[in-house]
């Protein structure tokens, strides 16, 4: 699909997730089949741009394009400045955050809280588009279905955003009030798609090839955005791509491949964060990968007591080497492929 002047290799996007979708993780997901990735949100507050956290989020060294950066804030002028700041640091697409339900974001009326103030939301969109247009940078928007059940205004806001120059809109199929609880619904996403001519991306609870196909069929969306399902299982993108293209299930990844992917990702992670922060922040990525594997929980507990990167890396590599002696293919993936019939039943419910 096309986004602005960019031709994307496929219609599977990595969702922006604070504390997760840093540069090493985005690059891993793209190497394993994702066609596009959006960065963690970068604040629009100028006084925080020099902070270590923001400087890391604005670091795109070695990242393949197009580089998409999500910005968050409540002041139109500040958001426009944030767009220019990130473009100067390599951003080729700017994404506006109106989807985050976190209290610390919504308490300052940013993120999904902006959907409750449509005039302000539209002012921010117009300011960012005006800042990006002279540089030839497309602007995208990520939002939710609305504030709560009975107050879903995604269709209204998407139509206004299109008129203001937004190039693509992503809709997470939950309200702000839901957070990440309950199940995502896709009727609102389908309604948005029916009302706008720009590409629409469906997001929320897409965790398998069957679910991906069902959501595409139900919403008629142009693309899918995947977040939590990629945590610990970034190869989900190549599984979905293969299924959508062929109708067949891709063979499970070999343990040797997963070992190679994870250990290479850890080295990239350490290089970005350094020794002290790197060993701690890597624990969640390791934990996600190990959680469904036999013996993974016990190893994770031991690994969390390791406090240097080299020892952590060797421990993970050794653990997967032992798993490789016992299993050629990843055990949890084999189990998942044995459950296709149950997932097909879920697909039928969704389509109905």
Q: Is 100 a catalytic residue?
A: yes
Distance CA 192, CA 175 (A): 14
The two structure tokens encoding residue 135: 């540089």
Burial class of residue 103 in the structure, from the number of CB atoms within 10 Å of its CB (0-12 exposed, 13-18 middle, 19+ buried): exposed
Taking the CA atoms of residue 88, residue 94, residue 100 and residue 105 in that order, the dihedral angle to the nearest 10 degrees is 30
- Which of these, 287, 281, 292, 294, lies nearest to 316 by C-alpha position? 287
- Which of these, 26, 46, 52, 141, lies nearest to 86 by C-alpha position? 46
Q: Which of 100, 106, 132, 309 is catalytic?
A: 100
Distance CA 325, CA 314 (A): 17
Burial 149-160 (b: 16+ CB within 10 A, else e): eeebbbbebbeb
Give the active site residues: 100
């Amino acid at each position: 699909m096309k986004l602005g002047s960019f031709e994307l290799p496929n219609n599977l996007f990595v969702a922006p997730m604070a504390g997760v979708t840093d540069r090493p993780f985005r690059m891993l997901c793209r190497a394993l089949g994702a066609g596009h990735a959006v960065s963690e949100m970068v604040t629009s507050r100028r006084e925080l741009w020099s902070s270590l956290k923001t400087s890391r989020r604005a670091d795109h060294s070695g990242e393949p394009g197009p580089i998409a950066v999500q910005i968050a804030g409540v002041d139109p002028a500040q958001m426009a400045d944030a767009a220019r700041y990130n473009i100067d640091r390599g951003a080729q697409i700017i994404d506006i955050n109106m989807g985050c339900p976190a209290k610390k974001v919504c308490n300052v009326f940013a993120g999904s809280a902006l959907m409750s103030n449509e005039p302000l939301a539209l002012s921010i969109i117009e300011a960012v588009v005006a800042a990006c247009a002279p540089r030839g940078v497309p602007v995208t928007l990520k939002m939710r279905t609305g504030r709560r059940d009975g107050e879903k205004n995604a269709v209204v806001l998407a139509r206004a955003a299109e008129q203001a120059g937004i190039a693509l809109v992503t809709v997470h199929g939950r309200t702000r009030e839901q957070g990440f609880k309950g199940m995502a619904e896709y009727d609102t996403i389908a309604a948005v798609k029916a009302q706008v001519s720009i590409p629409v991306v469906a997001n929320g609870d897409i965790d398998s090839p069957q679910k991906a196909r069902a959501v595409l069929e139900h919403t008629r969306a142009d693309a899918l955005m995947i977040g939590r399902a990629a945590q610990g299982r970034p190869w989900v993108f190549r599984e979905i791509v293969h299924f959508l293209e062929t109708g067949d299930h891709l063979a499970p990844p070999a343990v040797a491949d997963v070992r190679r992917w994870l250990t290479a990702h850890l080295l990239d992670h350490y290089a970005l964060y350094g020794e002290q922060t790197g060993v701690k922040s890597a624990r969640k990525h390791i934990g996600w990968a190990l959680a469904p594997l036999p013996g993974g929980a016990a190893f994770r507990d031991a690994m969390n007591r390791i406090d240097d990167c080299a020892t952590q890396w060797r421990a993970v590599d050794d653990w997967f080497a032992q798993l490789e002696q016992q299993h050629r293919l990843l055990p949890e993936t084999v189990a998942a492929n044995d459950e296709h019939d149950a997932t097909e039943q879920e697909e039928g419910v969704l389509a109905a």
